Amino acid sequence: MAKKIVHGKPKFTNGGYDRHMTTDYRFSVQVETAYLADQSSEEDERYAFSYTVTITNTGSVAAQLISRHWIITDANNSVNEVKGLGVIGEQPLLQPNETFTYTSGTVISTAVGQMHGSYQMVAVDGTSFEAPIAPFTLAAPRVLH
């Protein structure tokens, strides 16, 4: 299982950054991945992975996760974009220091790939912003050194 912790500056819909706003609207994203051998088939070029995401509101203002945008790339540089409302059918409202964890999955055609993306958030004061998810690796066992 791989683990990645991401602390990103949020992007605001107005395109600007403000020191006060970035401390008020801050989230950390931690991702753990696992290869799903029982759902994978090398001969069919099907490699399944689960990823468990923990989102923590490290800012000072409550915000709701409205939607997600994932960019999934395999080792052949084949890209799949996934956009949708919420995560696993939920749109959690996270108070400061509150955490939300969920598990989902993806299938790619190579033993190694990468994911990254963002969550689109709306704070209780109406401010819209993006919480970035830094790239993390998807890798079948014994593929990477």
Q: Render pLDDT for 75-103 as a digit per residue (tens, 0 to 9).
A: 999 999 999 999 999 999 999 999 999 99
| Cβ count near 44 (within 10 Å) | 8
Picking from 144, 54, 51, 55, the residue whose alpha carbon sits closest to that of residue 106 is 51
- Rg from Cα positions in the chain: 16
What integer pLDDT is reported at residue 14 of this predicted model? 44
Return the structure tokens found at 138. Answer: 């998807």
Signed CA dihedral, 32, 54, 132, 115: sign only: positive
Average pLDDT estimate for 50-71: 97
What integer pLDDT is reported at residue 22 of this predicted model? 60
The architecture CATH gives domain 2-139 = Sandwich (2.60)
What integer pLDDT is reported at residue 15 of this predicted model? 45
